[in-house]
Amino acid sequence: MDSPLSTAAPAAGPDAPFHPSRARSAAAWSATLLLIAASVVAGCRVADTDGVTPVPQLLAFLPWLLLLAGAALLLALLARWRTGMVWAVAVLAVIGWFVRPYDTGLTDDPPGPVVARLEVLTSNVEFGNATEGLLAAIRREQPDLVFVQECDPRCTNALAAEVSRGDYPHRTVVEGRAASGSAILSKLPLRAAAGIDGTLAMPGSVAVVGGWTVNLQLAHPLPPIPGGVTDWRRELGLLRTYAAGVKGRPALVAGDFNATQDHDAFRRILDAGDLRDSATLVGAARIPSWPSAVRRPLGAQIDHVLVSGDFSVRKARFLDLANTDHRALLVQLELHDVR
């Protein structure tokens, strides 16, 4: 069978006998539809473009397309459609190449002597619902820097009342309802810095780490919902502009990016600031952070800690918190003297 149209079959009545040729034709048509969908998304990934809805949404779940292409391959085999078999194998190979787990090895060769070690926690607490879990994680892990997204008034009040000022004397908090509030808590000295003027709060600060100044930026752009992809691109573009502005200086950008490494708009942030993704550096690029109900290889990693080349990453862990659809991310960093 050379195409999904090559087999004709008589019309089927209620008592018509089973026709293998009709079944093969249906299987070939089904395989074609699945392969078109998978090919469009895979093609956008290859072409470094996020496309239009529904491509940006599907790119977030690129590993799922292996199931789609695999089903298409089985249907093509059932249909004895050789072209479809080759097509499906090619799509599987392309998607497999991009979703493969890998370790860049960049942490194996630190850029200079260590001047400071620090731990960074980022957590989207989903409208403040996971505040108690966040407080428990802060008490248990004692990170040096904490980035909180979707910190509603309950969340900001709890941080003020229950997180010791003796432990975290330095804070940058933007109050807001539902998803719009954000906070940065720090054991390290902070000084004010302009943040990013997004729809959801994205405050910035400058920390003093081991005598070095490090630019800090919380990330929380809008998600790429249907009808909102233009706003999503615009706000990721604001993060790209920030990254370009701190290029060549110690910098750390953390939060819910609403984007994965398979989105071109996210990769442009990395390129603009010469930044690296902490989870990727330690071989955890495909561990999902959202939605929290699913496990690898399904789900999407949209929560990130990005660091400049002055940092190496020793460890990255995703933490489960109750009452949020995000996993928190905790990373252990070392800051190096690169002079």
Lowest average pLDDT, out of 90-104, 148-162, 247-261, goes to 90-104
Q: According to the model, what pLDDT value does residue 339 have? A: 72
Query: What single-letter amino acid sits at 209?
Result: V
Q: In sequence order, what are the residues at sequence separation of 6 or more whose Cβ sits closer than 8 angstroms to the Cβ of residue 187?
A: 144, 145, 167, 168, 169, 170
Distances (CA, A) of 84 to 7, 61, 69, 80: 14, 23, 10, 9
Predicted TM-score of the model (pTM): 0.91
Q: Is there a domain that residue 9 lies in?
A: no
Q: According to the model, what pLDDT value does residue 49 have? A: 97
Task: For residue range 210-248, list pLDDT tens digits in order.
Answer: 899 999 999 999 999 999 999 999 999 999 999 999 999
Q: In sequence order, what are the residues at sequence separation of 6 or more whose Cβ sits closer than 8 angstroms to the Cβ of residue 5?
A: 25
230 and 306 share one domain: yes
The mean pLDDT value for 131-138 works out to 98
Do 272 and 305 touch, CB atoms closer than 8 A? no
**Full residue range of the structural domain in which residue 92 is found:** 20-99
More confident residue, 137 or 283: 137
237 and 314 share one domain: yes
What are φ and ψ of residue 133, in 5° steps? -65, -40
The mean pLDDT value for 197-222 works out to 97
313 and 211 share one domain: yes
Q: In sequence order, what are the residues at sequence separation of 6 or more whose Cβ sits closer than 8 angstroms to the Cβ of residue 137?
A: 121, 123, 319, 321, 328, 330
Q: How many domains does the structure of the chain reveal?
A: 2
Burial of 226 from C-beta contacts in 10 A (0-12 / 13-18 / 19+): exposed
Do 255 and 303 touch, CB atoms closer than 8 A? yes
Query: What 8-state DSSP symbol labels residue 10?
Result: P
Q: Sorting pLDDT into bands at 50, 70 and 90, what band is 39? A: very high
Q: According to the model, what pLDDT value does residue 8 have? A: 47
Q: Is there a domain that residue 182 lies in?
A: yes
Please, which residues bridge with residue 304 across strands? 255
Q: Is there a domain that residue 10 lies in?
A: no
The mean pLDDT value for 167-175 works out to 97
153-173 exposure pattern, b = at least 16 Cβ within 10 A, e = fewer: eebbebbeeebeeeebebbbb
Q: Is there a domain that residue 297 lies in?
A: yes
177 and 256 share one domain: yes
| Cα distance between residue 87 and residue 79, in whole Å | 14
Q: Looking at 48, 80, 99, which one is the last position of a domain?
A: 99
| Cα distance between residue 306 and residue 285, in whole Å | 12
Q: Is there a domain that residue 176 lies in?
A: yes
| Cα distance between residue 318 and residue 182, in whole Å | 20
Q: According to the model, what pLDDT value does residue 7 have? A: 47
CATH of the domain at 197: 3.60.10.10
Instruction: Scan for tokens 């996993």, then name that residue.
Output: 327
The percentage of residues in the chain with a pLDDT greater than 90, rounded to a whole number, is 83
Please, which residues bridge with residue 214 across strands? 207
Q: Is there a domain that residue 12 lies in?
A: no
Task: For residue range 144-165, list pLDDT tens digits in order.
Answer: 999 999 999 999 999 999 999 9
Distances (CA, A) of 89 to 5, 71, 82, 135, 185: 20, 11, 11, 48, 49
Checking DSSP bridges between strand 190-196 and strand 212-219, what pairing results, if any? unpaired
The mean pLDDT value for 34-48 works out to 97
Q: According to the model, what pLDDT value does residue 338 have? A: 78
Q: Sorting pLDDT into bands at 50, 70 and 90, what band is 139? A: very high
199 and 318 share one domain: yes
> Would you state the structure tokens that stand for residue 215, as one six-digit string?
């630019």
161 and 309 share one domain: yes
Q: Is there a domain that residue 213 lies in?
A: yes
Please give the biggest Cα pair distance in the chain. Answer: 83
168 and 271 share one domain: yes
| Cα distance between residue 4 and residue 121, in whole Å | 52
Q: Would you tell me how many other CB atoms lie within 10 Å of the CB of residue 24?
A: 21
Task: For residue range 260-276, list pLDDT tens digits in order.
Answer: 999 999 999 999 999 99
191 and 256 share one domain: yes
Q: Looking at 99, 130, 153, which one is the last position of a domain?
A: 99
> Would you state the structure tokens that stand for residue 38, as one six-digit string?
């998978």
The mean pLDDT value for 181-190 works out to 97
Please, which residues bridge with residue 147 across strands? 122, 184
158 and 90 share one domain: no
Q: Is there a domain that residue 289 lies in?
A: yes
Q: Sorting pLDDT into bands at 50, 70 and 90, what band is 102? A: low
Q: According to the model, what pLDDT value does residue 17 have? A: 62
